[in-house]
Amino acid sequence: MQEVRNQINDGIKLQRQLELIEAIDRLGLASLFHEEIYQVLSVLSLNNYKEVILCGLRSTAICFQLLRRFGFQISEGIFDDFMDGDHNTFLPTLSDDLIGLLSLYNASYMAFPGEKKMESARSFALKNMTRKNMQEILPGSIESAIGHALDLPLHRRMPWMEARMYIDMYELEDGMSPALLHLAKIHFNKVQSIHQKELKHAGSWWTRLDLGKTISFSRDRLMECFFYVVGIVHHPDYGFCREKLTQVGMLIATIDDVYDVYGSLEELELFTQIIDRWDIKGVVELPYYMKICFSALNDTINGVANHLYADDRFNILQWADLFKSFLVEAKWHKKGYIPTLKEYLSNASISAAGHVILFLAYILLKCKITKETLQLLQDFPNIIRLPSLIFRLCNDLATSSNIQVEQERGDVATSVQCYMKETGASEEEARLYISMLISDAWNDMNEEYSTCSKPQFPQRFIDASINLARMASFMYQHGDGFSAPSHQIKGSIKSLLLNSISNNLNERDMQ
C-alpha cells in the first residue's frame, strides 16, 4: 500500500496522477487511499483547470469525471477549449483521439439536467468511436475498453463488479503499475472471502426458514439476491447490513410472488390490512402460507431492531406502503386493467421496493437516526425516489420483451405496455421513450447527489442509493437477471463471489 501511496504523492505529472487515481477507483481501492485522493482533487477543484486542459482531452475528461464522482463542483465548461467557437460541437481534430474519446464518453454520463455540452460530448464520442474505418485499426486493448464502455458506461456500472472486471483489463494496459495491480488482487480476494462466509450464513438462514417447502411457487434466488446486495453495499465492514438486506430481499421476492401468482384477492386484502396495522394477533385469520410470511418478516425486523437497539416499528410504514402497492397491481391484473403511464409509475416506484431496501440500508449502515431524518426518508426524497424509478424502469425493459410469460405469471402490464396503450406507440417507440425516462432520471440523480446534504445523508448511504440504480442497470441489461439469470449473469456471480484471483504476492505486501 505504501508504494502506491508514494506513487500518488511523489510529484508525478498531473496526467499520470489523474490516470492513477482513476485506476485506483475502478479497481475498488478508493477507500484505502481516501485522504490522498481527496487531497489531490481538492487542489484541482480550487484552480482554473488550465494545467489539466493543457494535458489534453483524456486528462480533462478524467478530471471532470473524478471531481463529480467524489462530490466536487465542476462545470461542463471545462470542455470549452475542445469545442468550436459557439461551444456547440467538439473539434473535428479530436475525432481520432480514441483514448480521449473513451474518457469523454464515460464522463458524459455524469451529466446534470440540461447540460447540452455533455449531450454533445456523448454523441461526438459515440459517433467517432464506432466509425467503421476506426474499428478496423483499433489495438486489442483499446477495442476491449471501448466495447466495455459501450456495453455499459462506467458511471452506471456496479462498482465491485467493475473492480473484478477491470483487474483483468488493467493488467493489459500500457503504464500499468505492478504494485497497484497486486494490491487490487489481494484486496479483492480478502473481501471476496468475507462475502463467501456471509453467503454461507445466508444459505443456512434460508434453509432453516424453509419457505420454499411451504410456498413452492415462489422464486428461489438466494444467490442472485446476495449478489444484488453485494452490488449495493460491498465494503467488508458492513456484513450485518448485507445479511439483513439479503433476508429482506428474499422475503420481498417471496411475498411479491404471493401477490402475483398465488393469493386470492380476498386473502391479499386481508394480508395487506394486517401488515398496515402490524396486527400480530390478527395473523390467526390468515391462511397458513401467509402466516409463515408474516412471521418471517416480523422476525427479520425485530432482529434488526434488537441489534441496533432501535424501535422495531421504524420500518413498518415502509412495508405497509409496499404491500399496498402490490395489492393495487394484483387488482389491476385480475381486472385486466392497464393504467396510464403516470398512474403506473406512481405505484410502480413503490412496488419496486427500492424505498424499503434503502430505508433499511440507512439504518443498517448506522447512519445517524433522528426523527427528522426518518421523516425525510419516509417522505420519499429524490435520493430514494430516483434510484427506485430507475430500478423499476430497467426491470420493465427487461421483462417487457417477454410479455406473455410475465402476464401468465401474474405480473401487471409494464410501463412499456402502459405507454403503448395510452399513446398508440409501437413497442420500439415505447421502449425508446422508457429509455429516455431512465436517462433523465440518471441526470436528475447526478445532480441530486452533487447537492444533497452530506451531514444529513452520509456518503456511505449516498453510495448505496446510487448503487441500487447501478445494479438495476447491470442485472436487467440483457433480460431479467434476477428471476431468469442469463449465462452472463451466472458468470458474473461466479467471478465475483466464488472464483478467487490468482496472485503471487502475499497479504503482507499490502502493508
Q: CB neighbours of 195 closer than 8 A, spacing ≥ 6? A: 226, 230, 234, 242, 496, 497
Burial of 318 (0-12, 13-18, 19+ CB in 10 A): buried
C-alpha cell at 181: 495491480
Domain contains 180 = no
Amino acid 140: pLDDT: 66
> Which CATH number do you get for residue 127?
1.50.10.130
* pLDDT higher than threshold 50 for residue 507: no
Same domain, 130 and 246: no
**Secondary structure string (H, E, C) spanning 334-387:** HHCCCCCHHHHHHHHHHHCCHHHHHHHHHHHCCCCCCHHHHHHHHCCCHHHHHH
Q: How far is CA 119 from the centre of its chain?
A: 22
Domain contains 496 = no
* pLDDT higher than threshold 80 for residue 111: yes
DSSP secondary structure letters along 36-65: HHHHHHHHHHHS-SHHHHHT-HHHHHHHHH
Distance from C-alpha of 33 to C-alpha of 10, rounded to nearest angstrom: 14
Same domain, 35 and 132: yes
Q: Would you call 234 helix, strand, or coil by DSSP?
A: coil
> Which CATH number do you get for residue 441?
1.10.600.10
| 499, 167 Cβ separation under 8 angstroms | no
Same domain, 335 and 385: yes
Taking alpha carbons only, the member of 398, 441, 403 closest to residue 421 is 403
Q: What are the pLDDT digits (tens) for 259-291? A: 988 889 999 999 999 999 888 899 999 999 899
Q: CB neighbours of 421 closer than 8 A, spacing ≥ 6? A: 338, 413
Q: What is the DSSP letter of 502?
A: P
Residue 477: which domain range? 193-486
Domain contains 186 = no
Same domain, 229 and 330: yes
Q: Which of 353-367, 371-385, 393-407 has the highest mean pLDDT?
A: 353-367
Domain contains 491 = no
Q: What are the pLDDT digits (tens) for 117-176? A: 999 999 999 999 988 556 565 666 788 899 999 999 999 999 999 999 999 999 988 889
Same domain, 251 and 396: yes
Domain contains 375 = yes
Same domain, 314 and 372: yes
C-alpha cell at 269: 386484502
DSSP secondary structure letters along 409-446: HTPPP-HHHHHHHHH---HHHHHHHHHHHHHHHHHHHH
Domain contains 501 = no
Report the pLDDT averaged over residues 473-480: 88
| 409, 262 Cβ separation under 8 angstroms | no
Taking alpha carbons only, the member of 249, 250, 428, 395 closest to residue 329 is 395
Q: What is the DSSP letter of 286?
A: S
Would you tell me how many other CB atoms lie within 10 Å of the CB of residue 238? 19
Where is average pLDDT lowest: 279-288, 307-316, 358-367, 454-463? 307-316
- Three-point CA angle 328, 332, 333, nearest 5°: 120
Same domain, 203 and 351: yes
Same domain, 207 and 143: no
Q: CB neighbours of 323 closer than 8 A, spacing ≥ 6? A: 255, 259, 271, 272, 275, 276
Distance from C-alpha of 511 to C-alpha of 499, rounded to nearest angstrom: 24
Distance from C-alpha of 30 to C-alpha of 14, rounded to nearest angstrom: 18
Q: How many domains does the chain fold into?
A: 2
Q: How far is CA 395 from the centre of its chain?
A: 13
Domain contains 221 = yes
Same domain, 130 and 197: no
Task: Identify residue 139 by its one-letter amino acid code.
Answer: P
Burial of 444 (0-12, 13-18, 19+ CB in 10 A): middle
Same domain, 200 and 283: yes
Helix (H) or strand (E) segment spanning residue 298: helix 288-308
Task: Identify residue 290 by its one-letter amino acid code.
Answer: M
Same domain, 215 and 287: yes
| 384, 480 Cβ separation under 8 angstroms | no
Q: What are the pLDDT digits (tens) for 217-264? A: 767 789 999 999 999 999 999 999 999 999 999 999 999 989 988 889
Distance from C-alpha of 147 to C-alpha of 169, rounded to nearest angstrom: 12
Same domain, 115 and 36: yes
